[in-house]
Amino acid sequence: MRTRLRIETAISAYLIDQKIEPSSTWLVELPKDRSNGDYASNIAFVLARTLKKSPQAIAQDLAKALPSYFKDKAWIGIQVLPAKGFINFILPVTVCWQALQDETFAKGDEVNPERILLEYVSANPTGPLHIGHGRWAALGDSLARLLKRVGHSVETEFYVNDAGNQIDKLIASVSAIKEGRPVPEEGYGGGYVKDLVEESDPIVALMKQQQVTLSDFRVVFNAWTREKETLHETGLVQKAIDQLTLKGITYSEKGALFFRSTDRGDDKDRVLIKSTGELTYFAADIAYHQQKALRGYDRLINIWGADHHGYITRVKAGIKALVGEKPEFEVLLGQLVTLLREGVEVRMSKRTGDMVSLQEVIDEIGTDAARFFLVIKNADTHLDFDLELAKKQSNDNPVFYVQYAHARICSILRKSETKPLVHVHLELHPTELKLLKFLLSFEDEVILAASRREPHRIANYLIELATHFHSFYHDCKVNVDDQVVAQNRLAICLSVKRILAEGLELLGISAPESM
């Protein structure tokens, strides 16, 4: 971002000098085709209307004038080229090099750092985690890492629904098995339920099991909040309901207590207390979010499956009613995962026990491959996860392609006897130059991925970086006799290694020294 910021600053300075006020927003971005330049701006298109000149003519003028606005010595060689109305910027190698050397490269660039609470997975403790939870786990954990990386302060939380109907059914199923009775209808009959018979507290046992799986998946939460003890036993749910009633936004009807959520965009009012006297999950949920809000965050982010889409408006309405506009409430919806084995869908049912658990997936294909598969696709596209395919592909799985690049660099470093220099001389092989320039764009990718909450961008960036590196490896031998060249290339290798490792780290994937 800092590099891009320099360019934006130069353009702004020019506009101020010329007393030009753009009619709408312009930007400096990575060109789609990197061979056009390192950065590009659409400013000429934007100014065309105000200046009543063609974008091409404006671009010509700007290209001539802009270089003198880069005051820093290192930037002196910058090329500013007009092209079909675009303005392309080609950075001097030294600028790229210096940016990469900076300890804080692609780190802490967020303009408005926030205190964020990210809640994800939050699976009921009624069975093992499945592949769908795996998607939220991979997504949430990577997102947390990304948000931290750009400078937010992030805490992660797993909300444990250890109260309510489903829990009662599970307990009933366990005792039924224990006493040799058949599992009640609508109960849980999966194989794992039989194993719970030995446990003094089946819920805790399942929670621990989930924790082990997540830990194997390299996903660790700052907090596991248990609904029963933090919300019900403390009376906080009732308190939240009372507050709503006090505000006059509840009403009784047919023996139930309703929350007037239609006042805040919902299409029907929601029940807080059923006519049976039981509290709804919705009541507990808004109490929970109220508690989160009171802890003083700027933003609450939740990751939910698309099947909870209908829930957003009402929970948002509840939060707004209880705590106001203060903490932003943001829900990231992820589309569902279909688990396949050789193209045939594996139905996910905890009740029948007909399922493949996340633990089994991890054991079968490994955490690295599983996480990569789950995070590489945009969260809003439906994901088909084929176990056999994931296993079969494991040799040309993109994750290995990326890891291989890292391992290759480590191998080069092991074989090299020269020490890297601090700077690069200016004569670079074209492939080498492309690689260097691509490294620089990590900065922009991280910012974009974090601000749009799209970790899959990092996975795609890494694949592309690995591609650039493998080409470089092929075209440019590192350990050559010419010491200047060797040191240069070694220095580039070190940068690639660092970015690969940092990128993989953001995805919670290992960067092996050898393969």
Is residue 131 within 8 A of residue 337, CB to CB? The reply is yes
Residue 237 Cβ, how far from RNA at the closest point, in Å?
12
Is 474 a residue that touches RNA (CB under 7 A)? yes
| Residues binding RNA: number (CB under 7 A) | 87
CB-CB contact of 501 with 360 (8 Å): no
Give CA–CA dist 68/374, Å, rounded: 47
Nearer to RNA, 412 or 496 (CB): 412
Taking the complex as a whole, how short is the minimal distance between the CB of residue 404 and RNA, in angstroms?
A: 3
CB-nearer residue toward RNA: 14 or 282: 282
Contact yes or no for 450/114 (Cβ under 8 A): no
Encoding tokens for residue 452? 């749009």
Structure tokens at 179: 């006493």
Of the residues 22, 77, 85, 113, which one makes contact with RNA according to CB under 7 A: 85
Q: Which is nearer to RNA, 151 or 398 (CB)?
A: 398
- Closest distance of CB 497 from RNA, Å: 12
Q: Which of residues 477-496 bind RNA (CB under 7 A)?
A: 477-479
Spatial separation of the C-alpha atoms in residues 236 and 216, rounded to whole Å = 34
Half-sphere exposure in the Cβ direction for 89 (13 Å, CA): 31
Cβ distance to RNA smaller for residue 85 or 113: 85
Query: Interior CA angle at 292 toward 168 and 378, to 5°?
Result: 85
**302 has which bridge partners?**
119, 331
Please identify, using beta-carbon distances, which residue of 80 and 297 lies nearer to RNA: 80
* Cβ pair 258, 241 in contact under 8 A: no
For position 112 contacting RNA by CB under 7 A, the verdict is no
Choice between 93 and 332, CB closer to RNA: 332
C-alpha dihedral (70, 71, 73, 75), degrees to nearest 10: -10
To 5 degrees, how large is the angle CA 78–CA 95–CA 65?
20
Indicate the residue among 297 and 361 with the shorter CB distance to RNA. 361
Q: CA 36, CA 30: separation in Å to the nearest integer?
A: 10
For residue 249, the 8-state DSSP code is -
State which of positions 410-449 bind RNA (CB under 7 A): 410-412, 415-416
Q: What phi and psi, each to the nearest 5 degrees, are found at residue 101?
A: -70, -25
Residue from 79, 275, 352, 483 touching RNA (CB under 7 A): that is 275
Residues 11-50 that bind RNA (CB under 7 A): 27, 29, 31-33, 35-37, 40, 42, 45-46, 48
Please tell me whether residue 84 binds RNA under the rule CB under 7 A: yes
User: Which of residues 383, 446, 450, 491 is near RNA by CB under 7 A?
Assistant: 383
| x/- map, 223-242, RNA, by CB under 7 A | --------------------
Whether 297 contacts 343, CB under 8 Å: no
Site mask for RNA (CB under 7 A), range 332-371, x = bound: -x-xx-----------------------------------
- The correct pick among 130, 148, 371, 408 for binding RNA (CB under 7 A) is 408
Spatial separation of the C-alpha atoms in residues 437 and 444, rounded to whole Å: 12
Spatial separation of the C-alpha atoms in residues 319 and 302, rounded to whole Å: 13
Which residues 162-221 are close enough to bind RNA by CB under 7 A? 164-166
| Binding test (CB under 7 A) with RNA, winner from 112, 200, 276, 325 | 276
For RNA, give the closer residue by CB, 58 or 322. Answer: 58
Q: Indicate the pairing of strand 250-253 with strand 39-41.
A: unpaired
Q: Which stretch binds RNA (CB under 7 A): 138-146, 151-159, 316-324, 507-515?
A: 507-515
Helices (H), 102-164: 131-149
Shortest distance, position 506 Cβ to RNA, whole Å: 16
Q: Give the chain's length.
A: 515
For residue 69, what is the DSSP state? G
Q: For residues 283 and 300, which CB has a smaller minimum distance to RNA in the complex?
A: 283
Q: Binding string to RNA for residues 251 to 270, with x set by CB under 7 A, is what?
A: --xxxx----------xx-x
Question: Pattern 145-164, binding to RNA, x per CB under 7 A?
Answer: ----------------x--x
Is the separation of the CB atoms in 295 and 238 below 8 Å?
Answer: no
CB of 96 to RNA, least distance (A): 18
Q: CB-wise, 117 or 271, nearer to RNA?
A: 271
Q: What is the DSSP string of 156-220?
A: EEEEE--SSHHHHHHHHHHHHHHTTPPPPTTS--SHHHHHGGG-S-HHHHHHHHHHHHHHHTT--
Q: How far is the CB of 53 from RNA (least distance, A)?
A: 13
**Of 221 and 461, which CB lies nearer to RNA in the complex structure?**
461
